């Protein structure tokens, strides 16, 4: 297993910059599952960061309760109200012709509904980022998640979420050691968040130390998930490259902001970070 320190040298040549010939269709669409009224902020943070990094459009799966709120708070995102599983299945069959990337977790809530919806999205969408409560919904049912994971999928747990999925892996191991344990179980992708974030794939492990303690704040992970979702795709970056690039950008915004950072500041800082990277 090859080990690398995270740096733009690893992935900058693959970064999907907008070109003069780009349009909203060529830039792709990201589908986001978010339906909990009390967590709508997480969905918005993920969706806005995704759009700011450069995806062509974002479509949010809403509930009857969240659709009017999202329409008011975030008019630039597309929305679809889905209240039952059968409608989700038929919607995804049509949507996958336009959408190859999905983000599941920010604002979804921990529930059997989230688990069932996530499984169907994993079956029908090629690239899937599984974050937050989409991870927590598989607690005690890890095998259900693992059978759907492949080289096009990514889980993004922090320490506690990782051990809810893998309670038998010792907590006192380093993040790198935990990622190696995961890769023995599953040949997919993982971004294990922490003071030292570790990005693992079947071919390499990337250690990220380009970070700031200010990232230890609510909503930070939702922004990171949104950035990853914007970068990955058939004509963009691989899941491992996108995870590494997003983690570096996320840390770069925080390092330049300094003290007092909140998640909204991360979203606002995307433009300046992209300029620095360019």
* Predicted TM-score (pTM) of this structure: 0.98
**In whole angstroms, how far apart are CA 22 and each of 19, 28, 125, 202, 231?**
5, 10, 23, 32, 15
Domains of the chain as residue ranges with CATH: 2-11+26-273 (3.40.1190.20)
**For range 154-178, the mean pLDDT:** 97
Q: Which of 93-97, 122-126, 239-243 has the lowest mean pLDDT?
A: 93-97
Instruction: State yes or no: pLDDT of 214 exceeds 80.
Output: yes
The percent of residues in the chain predicted with pLDDT above 70, rounded, is 100
How far, in Å, CA of 206 to CA of 167, rounded?
24
pLDDT in tens, 34-59: 878 999 999 999 999 999 999 999 99
Instruction: State yes or no: pLDDT of 109 exceeds 80.
Output: yes
**For range 73-95, the mean pLDDT:** 95
CA-based nearest residue to 51, from 116, 113, 103, 126: 103
Instruction: State yes or no: pLDDT of 275 exceeds 80.
Output: yes
Instruction: State yes or no: pLDDT of 97 exceeds 80.
Output: yes
**For range 5-34, the mean pLDDT:** 96
- Which pLDDT does position 63 carry in this prediction? 92
**In whole angstroms, how far apart are CA 124 and each of 79, 95, 101?**
19, 9, 10
Q: Which two tokens stand for residue 151?
A: 């080289």
Sign for the pseudo-dihedral over CA of 266, 155, 129, 114: negative
Query: 100 near 126, Cβ under 8 Å?
Result: yes
- Which pLDDT does position 34 carry in this prediction? 82
Question: Given pLDDT bands bounded at 50, 70 and 90, which one contains residue 118?
Answer: very high
């Amino acid at each position: 297993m090859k080990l690398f320190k995270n740096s733009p040298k690893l992935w900058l040549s693959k970064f999907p910059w907008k070109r003069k010939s780009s349009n909203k269709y060529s830039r792709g669409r990201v589908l986001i599952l978010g339906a909990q009224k009390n967590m709508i902020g997480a969905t918005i943070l993920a969706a806005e960061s995704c759009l700011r990094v450069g995806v062509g459009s974002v479509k949010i799966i809403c509930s009857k309760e969240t659709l009017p709120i999202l329409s008011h708070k975030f008019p630039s995102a597309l929305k679809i109200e889905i209240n039952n599983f059968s409608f989700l299945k038929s919607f995804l069959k049509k949507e996958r012709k336009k959408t190859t990337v999905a983000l599941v977790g920010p604002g979804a809530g921990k529930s059997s509904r989230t688990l069932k919806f996530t499984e169907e999205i994993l079956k029908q969408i090629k690239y899937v980022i599984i974050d937050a409560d989409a991870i927590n919904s598989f607690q005690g049912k890890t095998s259900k998640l693992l059978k759907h994971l492949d080289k096009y999928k990514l889980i993004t747990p922090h320490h506690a979420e990782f051990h809810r999925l893998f309670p038998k892996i010792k907590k006192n191991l380093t993040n790198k050691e935990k990622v190696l344990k995961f890769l023995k179980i599953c040949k997919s992708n993982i971004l294990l968040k922490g003071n030292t974030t570790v990005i693992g794939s079947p071919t390499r492990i990337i250690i990220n130390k380009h970070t700031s303690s200010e990232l230890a704040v609510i909503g930070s992970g939702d922004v990171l998930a949104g950035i990853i979702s914007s970068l990955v795709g058939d004509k963009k970056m691989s899941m491992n490259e996108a995870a590494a690039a997003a983690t570096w950008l996320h840390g770069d915004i925080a390092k330049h902001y300094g003290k007092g950072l909140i998640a909204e500041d991360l979203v606002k800082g995307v433009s300046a970070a992209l300029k620095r990277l360019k």
